[in-house]
Amino acid sequence: MKYVFIQLCLTLICFGMNAQNTKVIAHRGYWKKDGSAQNSISALQNAAELKVYGSEFDVWLTGDNRLVVNHDKKFQGHDMEHITFAEAVKVKLGNGESMPTLSEYFSEALDHPELHLILELKSHVSDEREREAVLGIAKLIKAYGVADRTDFIAFSLNAVKEFVKVMPDADVYYLEGDIEPARLKEIGCAGLDYNIHTIKTHPEWIKEAHDLGLKVNVWTVNNREDMEFLIAQGVDFITTDEPQLLMEILEEK
């Protein structure tokens, strides 16, 4: 009986510790708040106000090799790889804000020093353009002094390798979900950032990653059941469109 009680206490303590360890990342910012839009400056501000660990956003290299923040490759009749910088800054998001440049995003982040930035480089048409994008990002990271709180994520393995090469001290995560933790470590990743369905197919990758000293981020987790499952598994980060719900669940633990 005593043994069962001790086991129960240890389980509860472990669950509590796991809950404390799991951090909230707002997917494309906290854009569900009234008046905001995905990947907007206000979505970044809202994420900071909610006091989440981090805010994720997507980056494209324009046709004239400048960096802007947006998700879709085709957006309001433009192709993000062909649009010019001058055209991009004139594009209005759904809430009337202008499409942010990466400089504007970093500049705003300076007002929110506690917030971590999770920068996704979208997959571009060629390895050369991804390299050009990574070099440009590295320059801005240095200029704004945000290296210590910016992590990099990409579906493109080429982009992941470029980030590792150009910024060897940075934490880089791979998104595609088709590479096991041991191989990611060899590539130089800080961890994996995989879809919830991939993690449910390979739940063993969580422990494998942790045993290798890698971190685990899971996207895009928007319901309570999945959030509670992942918290119990001790994942390091959950990326969600519902950061407020996840914050509430973590506070309950």
Please state the separation of Cα 140 from the chain's center in Å. 18
**194 within 8 A of 165, measured Cβ to Cβ:** no
Q: Does 193 bind Mg ion (CB under 5 A)?
A: no
Residue with the shortest CB distance to Mg ion: 120
DSSP 61: E
Q: Does 151 bind Mg ion (CB under 5 A)?
A: no
As measured in angstroms, the least distance from the Cβ of 239 to Mg ion is: 8
As measured in angstroms, the least distance from the Cβ of 80 to Mg ion is: 13
As measured in angstroms, the least distance from the Cβ of 189 to Mg ion is: 17
Q: Which stretch binds Mg ion (CB under 5 A): 47-55, 100-108, 114-122, 175-183?
A: 114-122
The residue count for binding Mg ion (CB under 5 A) is 2
**144 within 8 A of 109, measured Cβ to Cβ:** yes
Instruction: Work out the number of other CB atoms within 10 angstroms of the CB of residue 7.
Output: 10
As measured in angstroms, the least distance from the Cβ of 26 to Mg ion is: 11
Helix, strand, coil shares of the chain, percent, nearest 5, are 45, 20, 35
Q: Does 120 bind Mg ion (CB under 5 A)?
A: yes
Which is nearer to Mg ion, 120 or 242 (by Cβ)?
120
As measured in angstroms, the least distance from the Cβ of 71 to Mg ion is: 6
**180 within 8 A of 146, measured Cβ to Cβ:** no
- The span from the CA of 72 to the CA of 78, in Å, is 10
As measured in angstroms, the least distance from the Cβ of 73 to Mg ion is: 12
Q: Does 226 bind Mg ion (CB under 5 A)?
A: no
- The span from the CA of 251 to the CA of 241, in Å, is 18
Which is nearer to Mg ion, 120 or 236 (by Cβ)?
120
Taking only Cα atoms into account, the Rg of the chain, rounded to an integer number of angstroms, comes to: 19
User: In the window 55-74, what residues touch Mg ion (CB under 5 A)?
Assistant: 58
**52 within 8 A of 30, measured Cβ to Cβ:** yes
Instruction: Work out the number of other CB atoms within 10 angstroms of the CB of residue 185.
Output: 17
Q: Which stretch binds Mg ion (CB under 5 A): 119-127, 142-150, 234-242, 244-252?
A: 119-127
User: In the window 19-58, what residues touch Mg ion (CB under 5 A)?
Assistant: 58
As measured in angstroms, the least distance from the Cβ of 185 to Mg ion is: 23
Which is nearer to Mg ion, 40 or 208 (by Cβ)?
40
Instruction: Work out the number of other CB atoms within 10 angstroms of the CB of residue 162.
Output: 24
Closest CA to 19 of 30, 7, 11: 11
Q: Which stretch binds Mg ion (CB under 5 A): 76-84, 118-126, 136-144, 189-197?
A: 118-126
- Name the site residues for Mg ion (rule: CB under 5 A): 58, 120
